[in-house]
Amino acid sequence: AKDYELRQYEAAKWVSTVIRGESQKEAMRQGFWKLFHYIQGKNDKEMKIDMTVPVTCLVKSGCTDFKISFFVPFEHQDSPPQPTESDVFVEERKAAAIFVRSFGGFASPEKFAEEAEALARTLRNRGQPFHEDFFYTAGYDSPFKLFNRHNEVWYFKK
């Protein structure tokens, strides 16, 4: 469709942390740095790992817990280094069909919420069943990139 796409993602490992009771913006900041320390060597192999994209944030309706995640690079998928911080963990996400809406610019939590609502409205209007109680934000750019930025919101297909 012109305003969204349906992607099939394979099962994959992500390194994640959950930040509780903060604003989404603050949770993203704290979560990013925890995960950044992991890829800089704060893991059981003291191994530096390449930064990957996207950085995702799980947003649940009416909840102030946010799960921030980095994709584990392909070369480490079979056996990722284990985090040494107790609140950082490796998780395997199951294969899934995901509805994706892309947009540019610098994305704030408000902009992500607005784009997620627009995607949800489109999916409802088209009779597409999806899990409405949560969505993911996905950011692809460093904060230093000023132009041609790429952001996404994801809803999982039912």
Domain locations along the chain: 5-156
Q: What are the pLDDT digits (tens) for 138-158?
A: 999 988 899 999 999 999 999
Q: What are the pLDDT digits (tens) for 54-102?
A: 999 999 999 999 999 999 999 999 999 999 999 999 999 999 999 999 9
Q: CA 110 to CA 113: how far, in whole Å?
A: 5
To the nearest whole percent, how much of the chain has pLDDT over 70? 100
Q: Residue 154 class from Cβ within 10 Å (0-12 exposed, 13-18 middle, 19+ buried)? A: buried
Q: CA 116 to CA 112: how far, in whole Å?
A: 6
Residue given tokens 């409205």 in the structure block: 121
Give strand pairing partners of 4. Answer: none
Q: Which CATH number fits domain 5-156: 3.30.420.40, 3.30.200.20, 3.20.80.10, 2.60.120.200?
A: 3.20.80.10
Give the chain's mean pLDDT: 97
Q: What are the pLDDT digits (tens) for 24-54?
A: 999 999 999 999 999 999 999 999 999 999 9
| pLDDT surpasses 80 at 113 | yes
Question: DSSP of the chain, one letter per residue?
Answer: -TT-EEEEEPPEEEEEEEEESS-HHHHHHHHHHHHHHHHTT-BTT-------S-EEEEEETT--EEEEEEEPPGGGSSSPPPBSSTTEEEEEEPPEEEEEEEE-SPPPHHHHHHHHHHHHHHHHHTT--B-TTEEEEEE-S-TT--SS--EEEEEEB-
